[in-house]
Structures are given as C-alpha cells and as structure tokens.
Amino acid sequence: MCAKRAEIAEGLLMPKATAVWLVENTALTFEQIGDFTGLHYIEVQALADEDVGRGIVGRSPIDHSELTQEELDKAIADSGYRMKMAKSDLPGVKVRAKGPKYTPVAKRSDKPDAIAYILKHHPEVSDAQICKLCGTTKPTIQSIRDRTYPGSSGLKPRHPVDLGLCAYAELDYAIKKGLRAQGKTDEEIKAHKARMYQSQEKEEAAPEPAAAQSGNALGGFDFSNFLGGGNKSSSEESGS
C-alpha cells in the first residue's frame, strides 16, 4: 500500500493542491484523498481545516487527466474504494543520473532552513538522506546541527516540500527508511507519523509572540503628524 501511494504521489504534479480540490469539491473521506495524493490522512484533514497550507489553490485532477470522472464517482459511492490514477499517454520522465542534486539558484538560500526543519522534526532521517533531499553536504548538516553554521541564529525551520526542494513522496520515503532502521514496525511508523502531524499542527497553530503582534513593530515611530489631527494643527499654525 505504501509503495502504491508513493507511486501515485510521484505521478501527481501538485499533491497538496489536488487534495485541496478534492476536499472542496467532493465528499471523499480524508483516507481516500490521502491514499490518492500520497498524503497522510491527518495532513489532508489539516488542509481541510486550513491549519496548514493556507492559500493553496485547488487543482482539479480531472481537468489535468490525472483522474477520470468514473473513478471519482466510484469512490464517492463507496468510501472503501481507492481511486486509481489515470494512465497518461505522455512519455515517461527521464530519470536523472546519480550525482549531486541540482538546486536552482533562487532556492539555494532556502536549503539551511529546510535542513533545520528535518533535523528538528525528523531526527530519524540520516544525513545521507538529507543530502539527497536538499542537495547539500554532510559538513553543512553537521554545522547546522551543532550551530556553527554562519547565521545559525537566523535560521527558520521550514518544510522542504513547501520550499520546493523535494517531493512529499521523497521525504516520506526517507522518514520510513529512518524509522525502519531503528527497528520500527509498520504500525509503529503509522502511529509515529500521526503524532508527528498532530505536533506540527499545534506548532503552526500556536499564536505569535506578543512582540511580533504588537502594532508598534516599527520602533515606536510617531505617525500622528501624518494623520488628520496633525494636518489640522499644521494648517491652523500656518493660518495664525
């Protein structure tokens, strides 16, 4: 089942956007949507509640020939039915030869944040897997881990999938591989992922510090001279 979900997720161009569309336009269960998109059902529920992924625009898998209407109708009629991705007539994607992962220049500055996120939320993922996911090196990972990386104080852990550095299926595979290396069973892995998504939801839903929400975020600059009262005073002074 896991291999099937990973295969489907790799075939979808935008799994989260597809999940959002299915949530908004169908009566499918979170499990059905998660099975088709390769997402965990808790993550699908978080998308539905807008706890995560706010602003994601839904993407119709039917309009993009990733799912047929017949498959969707079957799934709506039977909550136990698992949808199959539509076969594409397009040529398969060529597999890139092994070697250092290329990261676009615009995204290279996001790598440290992505590494910090994986180290914080997925300590089970090995350094070798992080190198593959983020296109980085082991010395860089170690420097971020022990806080000797330049600018460590300014790092903000951000999801590597949201940053576009890797696919969800790739991260999910790395997490499972790390947990299996620790001797975890499939049931323990499932329970671990459920706890992981719940903790991330709570963290993202936590209110910002009062200092960040303060309206005096610009250092107490006085705008009164630019308001109506200030202009009135100025006109009165000029007229006097």
Residue 14 confidence (pLDDT) above 60: yes
197 located within any domain = yes
Residue of 145 and 88 predicted with greater confidence:
145
Q: Say how far apart CA 182 and CA 132 lie, in whole Å.
A: 20
Confirm if 133 and 165 have CB atoms less than 8 A apart.
yes
Distance of CA 40 to the CA centre of its chain: 12
Q: Are residues 67 and 121 in the same domain?
A: no
Residue 105 has a pLDDT of 60
In terms of DSSP H, where are the helices of the chain?
2-11, 15-25, 30-37, 41-48, 69-77, 105-108, 111-121, 127-134, 138-145, 168-181, 186-205, 210-213, 228-239
175 with 124, same domain?
yes
- Is the pTM here over 0.75, yes or no? no
- Write the burial class of residue 51 (CB in 10 Å: 0-12 exposed, 13-18 middle, 19+ buried): middle
Percentage of the chain exceeding pLDDT 70:
69
Candidates 38, 196, 186; CA nearest to 123 is 196
Q: Look at residue 114 and tell me if it is in a domain.
A: yes
- Given a cut of 50, whether residue 58 has pLDDT beyond it is yes
pLDDT at residue 214, as a whole number? 45
Compute the average pLDDT of residues 124-129: 93
Domain encompassing residue 11: 2-77
From 38, 57, 77, the end of a domain falls on 77
Q: Are both 196 and 115 inside the same structural domain?
A: yes
Residue 9 has pLDDT above 60, yes or no: no
Tokens (6 digits) for 33:
């949507």
pLDDT tens digits along 171-227: 889 998 999 998 988 888 888 877 777 766 666 555 555 444 444 444 444 545 545
Of 82-91, 100-109, 122-131, 146-155, the one with minimum mean pLDDT is: 100-109
Mean pLDDT, to the nearest integer, of 29-37? Answer: 92
Average pLDDT, the chain: 77
On whether both 127 and 189 belong to a single domain, the answer is yes
Question: Residue 235: what residue type?
Answer: S
Between 74 and 94, the higher pLDDT residue = 74
Does 98 reside within a domain?
A: no
Structure tokens at 224: 């009164």
69 and 133 together in one domain: no
Look up residue 94 and give its amino acid.
K
Crossing angle of helices 138-145 and 127-134, in 10° steps, is 110
- Residue range 148-165: average pLDDT? 88
Report if residue 95 sits inside a domain.
no
* pLDDT recorded at residue 200: 65
Angle (CA) 42 44 46, round 5°: 70
What domain count does the chain have?
Answer: 2
pLDDT of residue 216: 46
Q: Check whether 118 has a pLDDT greater than 90.
A: yes
One domain, residues 52 and 10: yes
Radius of gyration of the chain (CA): 23
At 234 the pLDDT is 45
Q: What is the reported pLDDT for 204?
A: 58
- Asked if the structure places residue 83 within a domain, the reply is no
pLDDT given for residue 201 in this prediction? 61
Query: pLDDT per residue over 127-151, tens digit each?
Result: 999 999 998 899 999 999 999 998 8
